Amino acid sequence: MVRQDDSGATPNSLSTTTGDISLVRWQRPQRGRLKCNVDAPFSNQLQRTGIGICIRDDEGTFMLAKTLSLSPMCSTPVGKALGLFHALQWPSDMQFDYVDFALDSKITTDAFHHCRVHVTEFGQVISACRSLFTTHISNSKVKFNRRQANEVAHTLAGVAALSASPKIHYHLSHCINSLIINEML
């Protein structure tokens, strides 16, 4: 059974219900596509926003990850939108096409898909995301994912908040190794 979130939207993840237990899992992209999960949690203690980005292939195999942090900490909507911007920019720089970008912020994905002009900082970042997407990225999608299906990106972003500089992970990082293995089972 595919479960809908409170807004009635169906997430890009598998959700099954057995009694009172719901299981939301990461889903592989279609054959020939990549999946780029992104998240941006916030650390009040460090006053930083961490951004975690993980790219996997259509078999679910880890390809690359990127972590970066923003200081000072920004508002939640702005941080999630900046996470999307950095996620869009990175595969664009590598000239990847056929990428499914997945993030757990319904507000950000809805704003990205609606062509309203916002004069807020959040709106300006969303406008930059749309511009980047339409001019540099082809055959790709931006989708909402439930948080439970975005654990790898969330974990990477938590680690990112502790780091002062951006880092590209070419090999499977220890902090996400077991998560990725469990998702592939």
Q: CA–CA separation, 55 vs 99, rounded Å?
A: 9
pLDDT at residue 173, rounded to an integer: 87
pLDDT at 163: 85
DSSP string, 65-125: EEEEEESS---HHHHHHHHHHHHHHHHHHTT--SEEEEES-HHHHHHHHS-----SHHHHH
Q: What are phi and psi of 34, to 5 degrees?
A: -110, 155
Structure confidence at residue 44 (pLDDT):
87
The H-or-E segment that residue 4 falls in is none
Q: Note the pTM of the prediction, 2 decimals.
A: 0.84
pLDDT of the residue at 57: 96
The pLDDT value given to residue 149:
83
Q: What pLDDT was estimated at residue 22? A: 58
pLDDT block averages, 10 residues each, the chain of length 185: 35 43 80 96 89 96 95 92 96 92 95 86 95 91 90 92 90 91 84
Contacts from 172-179 at CB under 8 Å and sequence distance 24+?
Answer: 172/62, 173/65, 176/54, 176/62, 176/65, 176/152, 179/151, 179/152, 179/155
Q: Per CATH, the architecture of 29-184 is what?
A: 2-Layer Sandwich (3.30)
| Largest Cα–Cα separation, the chain | 46
pLDDT of residue 19: 46
21-25 and 14-18 strand pairing: antiparallel
In DSSP terms, 185 is beta-bridged to: none
For the four alpha carbons of 82, 84, 86 and 88, in that order, the dihedral sign comes to: negative
| Amino acid 142: pLDDT | 97
